[in-house]
Structures are given as C-alpha cells and as structure tokens.
C-alpha cells in the first residue's frame, strides 16, 4: 500500500471520540425506543410526588440557562455597540440555538403525550398559564435565534441575496430575543411559585423569577467563556489569527461582567432568605447545602472572577467559568429536584436510563456543534463579509 492510500485510510478511520460518541447515541436510541413503546415508567423513576426529574431539571432548566449566552452577546454587540465581542457572537448564538433545540427534544422525551407539544402554539391558548407563556417564548426565541444565526448558513451556501436580506433583520431579531429571554428565563422560575409547600423554604421565594433571570446572565457569561476556551483549542485551525490575539482580553471583560452579576445575585438571594425569615433553617442539613451553594458556587466564583479580571489572569477566569457553570447546574437541580419534596420519605433518584438519555442528547448537541463549526463561518469571518469594526 502506497503512502497516499495509508493517509487516506487513516483519515477515514473513525476517531476514538467518534466511536465513543456513536456508542452513546446508539444506546440512547435503544432507550428511546423502550420509552416510546413501553412508557415513561419503563425508563424513569418518576412518580406522582416527583413528576419532574432529571429530564426537566437538567435538560430543560439547565439547558435554557446555559444557552443564555446568545441573547447576552447579541445584545452586547448589536444593541450596546461593543463591537470587540463580535468574534464570540456566532459561537454564542450557535450554542444558544442548539441548546434550545435540544431542550425541545428533551421535552418530547419527557412529555407523556409528546405529539401535543405544539398545542399551546397552534391549538389551546391557556393565556393564564405560566407553562403557556414558556411554550410560546421558547417557540419564538428559537425562531429568533435561527434568524440571528442564518447569515452564517447563507454565507456557507453562497446565497448572497438571501444573506443580505436576513442581515437586515438582525437588530429587530436581537431586540425581540432580549425581550423574550427576559420573560421566559424568569417564567421558568415562576413555575415553582406554584409549589410553595413542596419547595424547601430556603429556595422558595416570590423573587424566584428574578433569581432565574439574573442567574441566567451568569450562566450565559460563564458558558461563553467555557465554550470559547474549548472551541478555540479544539478548532484552532478554524480561528482567525487576529481573533486569537484578542481572545484573552475578551475573556477578562466577560469575567469582570460575571463578577458584577454574581455579586448582585448573591445579595438578592439573601434578600429572599430575609423576606422569608428562614434564618433558623440554615443550621439544618438542607441549610448547610444551601450555604455550600451560596458560598462555594456564588461567592467564591464572584471573588475569583474579580481577582482574575483585576490581575489579568486569564487562566483563572477560564477555570472559574467552569465553576460557575457547575454552580448554575446545582442551583437548577436544587430547585427542581433536590430541594423539591425534600421532606418526602421516598426520594427521587434518576434511573440509569434517564442518565443515558441525557448524556445522549448532550452528545448529539456536541456533534452537531462540531459539524457546523467545521463547515460554516462560525469561528472565522467569511472573506466576503468582514466583521463590523
């Protein structure tokens, strides 16, 4: 075999990552077949006391929060005119779009009657329902994010006229996206206002919609830092050299913004505790878990982000972003799973099949992101469409 043939064989041979990802997705598909043929009870540990589990707590609540980087970066660049963050915009919008798209996939898996998912939009208008509000906002925001990302698609396809037309919608789409994100991020918190006797008092507050919205800003900023760090290493050949030269400064700016938002969120949470007068609960086991969340995943990242931005330590900002992402995940799982029915004798633990489906959805999301980045101008500017100055 000549060297050219060997090189071709090596290029077509599946990588270890692709093999592992393929096995995960295949196993997830098997579980989905069981779920849709035998029902939720065959693959989950859900029950009447725990109707929402991992698929809502992680796939939906965490997925929506961590997809917030799209509206934050779009508002920063297009509405506030801070153009230096443009190199991070398309990856953030793509992450947000895929995040919301796979939230819909998770809802299809979790709903007992998934074929009725479009009902709130096209058939049943329960305008007094928070769930109706969330459904419409996710539907509209997914459309908005597709419009925001579509210039990259049309640049890749070479459809110049369509690309020019869609680009004119950018400002309007960004304004709509900011309004919709403000509403539905807070509406997810408002869902739990309906369960004042089921959610632990340290997490329950009439300020829950505000908590969810402010923490989504933290999640979006941290996720942009985290995603940029990973993608600029993995897809380094796709990144323009001048983008790489500016990346550290952009990370420091995002770290500073995250520190300020975390500081505000920290004190808002304590205002919630004070309004409920639940100080005595801090000495209980659940109270210690609440303190760990507040001190270890809010106060500590706040200090580390501020210190990293102040000293120019980009590595510290990047590590802290991972800590902040973990903190957001813990918070959403606390509200939806851990602190929900905390006093119930029979606790909910995710079935291994629930975990497998969640891992499969995340894996498909990563594979989709990789496929798009390797083909479309996401981390690099298209030669015919230079980035705005």
pLDDT, mean of residues 62-83: 92
Dihedral angle at the C-alpha atoms of 230, 235, 241, 246, nearest 10 degrees?
Answer: -20
* 48-62, 163-177, 240-254, 299-313: the lowest-pLDDT one: 240-254
User: Containing H/E element for 235?
Assistant: none
* pLDDT 10s digits, 208-221: 999 999 999 999 99
- CA–CA separation, 35 vs 372, rounded Å? 30
* pLDDT 10s digits, 137-161: 888 888 999 999 999 999 999 999 9
pLDDT of 133 reads 78
pLDDT of 10 reads 45
> pLDDT band at 13, cuts 50/70/90?
low
| Nearest of 85, 55, 60 to residue 70 by alpha carbon | 85
**Is the model more confident about 42 or about 124?**
42
pLDDT, mean of residues 174-179: 92
Number of neighbours of residue 261 by Cβ within 10 angstroms: 23
Q: 266 vs 88, 204, 262, 302, 343, CA distance in Å?
A: 27, 15, 6, 9, 26
Radius of gyration of the CA atoms of the chain, in A:
22
* pLDDT 10s digits, 248-306: 999 999 999 999 999 999 999 999 999 989 999 999 999 999 999 999 999 999 999 99
Give me the residues paired with residue 340 across strands: 199
- The yes-or-no verdict on residue 314 having pLDDT over 70 is yes
Matching residue, tokens 């507050």: 205
Concatenating the DSSP letter of every residue in 189-204 gives HHHGGG-TTTB-TTT-
Indicate the average pLDDT of the chain: 89
Q: 162 vs 144, 154, 363, 380, CA distance in Å?
A: 16, 7, 32, 20
> pLDDT band at 12, cuts 50/70/90?
low
pLDDT, mean of residues 103-110: 90
pLDDT, mean of residues 16-42: 93
Half-sphere exposure of 359 (CA within 13 A, CB side): 17
> pLDDT band at 9, cuts 50/70/90?
very low
Identify the DSSP state of 56: I
Domains of the chain: 53-343+354-373 (1.20.1630.10)
pLDDT, mean of residues 87-113: 91
């Amino acid at each position: 075999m000549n060297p050219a043939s060997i090189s071709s064989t090596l290029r077509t041979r599946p990588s270890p990552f692709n093999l592992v990802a393929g096995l995960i997705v295949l196993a997830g598909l098997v579980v989905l077949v069981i779920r849709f043929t035998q029902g939720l009870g065959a693959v989950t540990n859900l029950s009447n006391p725990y109707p929402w589990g991992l698929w809502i707590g992680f796939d939906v609540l965490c997925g929506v929060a961590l997809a917030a980087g799209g509206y934050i970066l779009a508002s920063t660049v297009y509405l506030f005119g801070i153009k230096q963050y443009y190199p991070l915009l398309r990856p953030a919008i793509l992450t947000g779009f895929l995040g919301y798209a796979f939230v819909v996939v998770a809802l299809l898996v979790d709903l007992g009657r998934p074929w009725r998912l479009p009902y709130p939009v096209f058939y049943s208008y329960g305008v007094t329902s928070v769930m109706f509000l969330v459904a419409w906002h996710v539907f509209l925001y997914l459309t908005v994010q597709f419009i925001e990302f579509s210039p990259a698609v049309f640049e890749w396809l070479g459809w110049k006229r369509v690309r020019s037309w869609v680009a004119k919608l950018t400002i309007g789409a960004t304004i709509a996206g900011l309004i919709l994100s403000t509403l539905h991020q807070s509406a997810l918190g408002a869902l739990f206002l309906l369960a004042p006797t089921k959610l632990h008092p340290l997490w329950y507050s009439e300020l829950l919609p505000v908590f969810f919205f402010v923490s989504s800003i933290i999640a979006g900023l941290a996720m942009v830092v985290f995603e940029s760090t990973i993608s600029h290493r993995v897809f380094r050949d796709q990144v323009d050299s001048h983008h790489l030269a500016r990346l550290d400064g952009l990370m420091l700016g995002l770290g500073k913004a995250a520190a300020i938002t975390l500081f505000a969120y920290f004190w808002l949470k304590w205002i919630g505790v004070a309004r409920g007068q639940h100080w005595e609960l801090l000495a209980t086991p659940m109270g210690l878990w609440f303190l760990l969340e507040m001190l270890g995943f809010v106060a500590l990242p706040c200090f580390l982000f501020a210190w990293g931005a102040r000293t120019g330590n980009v590595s510290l900002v990047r590590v802290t972003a991972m800590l902040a992402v973990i903190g957001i995940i813990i918070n959403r799982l606390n509200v939806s799973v851990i602190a929900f029915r905390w006093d119930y004798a029979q606790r909910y633990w995710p079935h291994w099949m629930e975990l497998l489906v969640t891992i499969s959805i995340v894996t498909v999301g990563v594979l989709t992101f990789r496929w798009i980045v390797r083909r479309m101008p996401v981390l690099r500017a298209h030669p015919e469409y230079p980035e705005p100055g």
